[in-house]
Homo-oligomer: A and B are copies of this chain.
Amino acid sequence: MLDLALLGLLEDGELHGYELRRRLRTQFGFLTNVSFGSIYPALGKLEAAGAVETVEAATSGPPAPPSGSLSGEWAALRARRRASARGRRSKKVYRITAVGRAHFLDLLSDPTADDPRSFALRLAFARHLPPDARLALLERRRAQLVQRLTETPPDGGRLDAYARSVIEHTTEGVEQDIDWLDRLIEAERATVGLSAAPVQRA
C-alpha cells in the first residue's frame, strides 16, 4: 500500500519524505494520517531495494519543476553546502529508478489486493496502466462488489434498527460504488474502442 503510494507520487517528481506525507494527506482523501513512522522506514526499504535513490537536490534528472520556489532552491543549496561542509543531515530527496518504475507497475497490476483503499489508490494512478489493465482493474473490483452484494444476508429481520441501518447504508454504498464503476468502465471501453480495434472481453 504505502510503497505503491510513494512510488506513484515519485513517478512525477523528486520529493522528500515530509513532502510525500503532506501530499498523501492533501491529494488523496483516503489514505490520510499516514505517519512518519511508516514513511521513513518504507523509503529506506525502497532505497535498499534499489527502487528509489536519493539526490542531493533537484539539480539533475528530469527538468526540475521551477515551480516558482526560488527560496526553496536557495534553501536546498545552503543545505547542500552545509551537508558537504559539516557532514550534517539535510533534506533527503528521493527519485524513482527504473527498477522502482517496474515495481510500481507490478504493484499497480497485482490482482491479489482487493481492499477498497488499495483499489482507490490504484485507480488514482491508473493513467500509468495500459488501457486493458485499467479495464481489468475496474472489472475485477466490480466483480468483488457484486459478489459482496449477493453474500449480504437476505434476513435483516431480527436485527434492531441500528444494526439494520448500518447494513442498509453499507449496502447502498456498495451499490453506488458499482454504479460508479459502471460509468468508469463504459468510459474506458469507449476510449479503448477508439484507439484500437474493439476487443471482446466479458
Residue numbers of A with Cβ under 8 A of B are 25-30, 32, 120, 123-127, 148, 151-153, 159-163, 165-167, 169-174, 176-177, 180, 184
Contacts and interface: CB of A to CB of B under 8 A. Distances in A.
Nearest to A184: B165
Given A165-B184, A184-B165, A29 B170 contact: yes
Task: State the majority secondary structure of interface residues on A.
Answer: helix
Nearest to A25: B151
A123 B159 contact: no
Contacts of A163: 27, 124-125, 127
A29 B171 contact: yes
B27 A166 contact: no
Contacts of A170: 29-30, 120
Contact of A26 (B26, B120, B153, B174): B153
B162 A125 contact: yes
Nearest to A119: B166
A179 to B, nearest CB: 10
A123 B29 contact: no
A83 to B, nearest CB: 31
B162 A169 contact: no
Given A170-B120, A180-B169, A126 B29 contact: no
Given A27-B159, A29-B152, A153-B26, A166 B120 contact: yes
Given A120-B170, A170-B120, A180-B169, A29 B162 contact: no
A29 B127 contact: no
Nearest to A152: B29
A191 to B, nearest CB: 10
Contacts of A127: 160-163
